[in-house]
A = this chain, B = another copy of it.
Amino acid sequence: VSRILNNKMPMPISAATIERVRQAARDMNYSPNVAARALVTRRSKTIGLFSSEMTDPHFAQMLESVDETCRGLGYHLAVSSGMRSIAEPGRVDGLLLLASPDREELQALSVGLPTIYVWHTNEPVTNCIGWSDFDGAYKAGQYLSDLGHRNVAILYGHCDDERPAPQKLAGFLKVMEKVGGSVSNCWSRAASSLLEDQFETGYELTRRLLNEDGKVTAIFARNDLLALGALKAIRERGLSVPGDISVISYNDTIHARCSEPTLTSVRTPIAQAGALAAQQLIQTVESGDRVFPGIVLPTTIIERDSCRSI
């Protein structure tokens, strides 16, 4: 029965019995028990997806593409924001971590399991697939500089859980240094109320910026929500985007398409990264070799209405 239903018959079987078994299976609505199969096969045919930001639209895009890829390849998805539980023996065949490959707590919990990280990296990193935030931010800076902006601000929000280095900051500064622009940094560490809500943070920090610095002609926001907050602060100030101040943001989530004005934003290939990561992980699981050189996907600027030349 097992041989027939799995279409793996090393020895020949009569067509008659094949049909007989298949029919019986259909009659009783039979479907193999996955726990039993997993036990003997040592494969659960499910992969674990970990992320601590389940509510982020960025994660949603990845979830969707990973789900699709897995289903297409006959795999299932276990999602959790808690690593310890998801990595128990027998539960998953591999791990997809929306997290930095540097996080040692995660490495410790994923020993023995094929693991692929989806995160930003400047250079290819083993078992990590992603994109370069340095490069993305560099492109954003280049874009603003090409439009003639020299007095710019970077709206970074809080920066304590970004590791290793704030690449977006570095990439942006690199351009501005090259072209001789001056950069104001907007970030906060203290006010805990600000940290919780990106939109509010963007609003508040931009308000302060506009009070203190009258020369800024462009703002680079670390993500779309911060940019929306900036938009609001600028508007309240009686200034216009892009008339008085240009705004470029990052991630190109749905927010960038639905705002007023629409946001020029650096698109991160998160969905593609998720799909590729799932593919690669499953291939790794099935083939056995665990050395995956890593991939850095390109970021692209999506031009909309929030930037103008000076």
A interface residue numbers (CB < 8 A to B): 31-39, 44, 46, 49, 54-57, 59-61, 63-64, 67-68, 71, 76-82, 85-86, 88-91, 199, 225, 228-229, 231-232, 235, 254-255, 257-260
Contact, CB under 8 Å: A55 / B46? no
Name A77's contact: one of B59, B79, B260 (CB within 8 Å).
B79
Whether A67 contacts B81 in the complex (CB less than 8 A), given A60-B57, A76-B91, comes out as yes
* Chain B residues within an 8 Å CB radius of A255: 255, 258
Consensus secondary structure, chain A interface: helix
Name A54's contact: one of B56, B64, B86, B228 (CB within 8 Å).
B64
* Chain B residues within an 8 Å CB radius of A81: 64, 67-68, 71
CB distance from A28 to the nearest CB of B (A): 12
CB distance from A205 to the nearest CB of B (A): 15
Q: How far is the CA of A132 from the CA of B89 in the complex (A)?
A: 42
CB distance from A88 to the nearest CB of B (A): 5
Given A35-B90, A36-B90, A77-B78, 4 other A-B residues pairs in contact with their CB atoms under 8 A:
A34-B91, A67-B81, A232-B258, A255-B255
**28 A-B interface contacts by CB (under 8 A):** A31-B88, A35-B38, A35-B44, A35-B90, A35-B91, A36-B39, A39-B39, A46-B78, A55-B57, A55-B60, A55-B63, A57-B57, A59-B60, A64-B81, A67-B79, A67-B80, A71-B81, A71-B85, A76-B80, A76-B85, A77-B79, A79-B79, A199-B257, A225-B254, A235-B260, A255-B258, A258-B259, A260-B260
Number of copies: 2
Name A260's contact: one of B44, B67, B76, B231 (CB within 8 Å).
B231
Q: How far is the CA of A45 from the CA of B46 in the complex (A)?
A: 15
Contact, CB under 8 Å: A54 / B44? no
Whether A55 contacts B44 in the complex (CB less than 8 A), given A90-B36, A91-B76, comes out as no
* Chain B residues within an 8 Å CB radius of A33: 39, 89-90
Q: How far is the CA of A63 from the CA of B235 in the complex (A)?
A: 34
Contact, CB under 8 Å: B67 / A199? no
* Chain B residues within an 8 Å CB radius of A36: 39, 90
Q: How far is the CA of A59 from the CA of B55 in the complex (A)?
A: 9
Contact, CB under 8 Å: B35 / A39? yes
Contact, CB under 8 Å: B90 / A63? no
Q: How far is the CA of A33 from the CA of B91 in the complex (A)?
A: 8
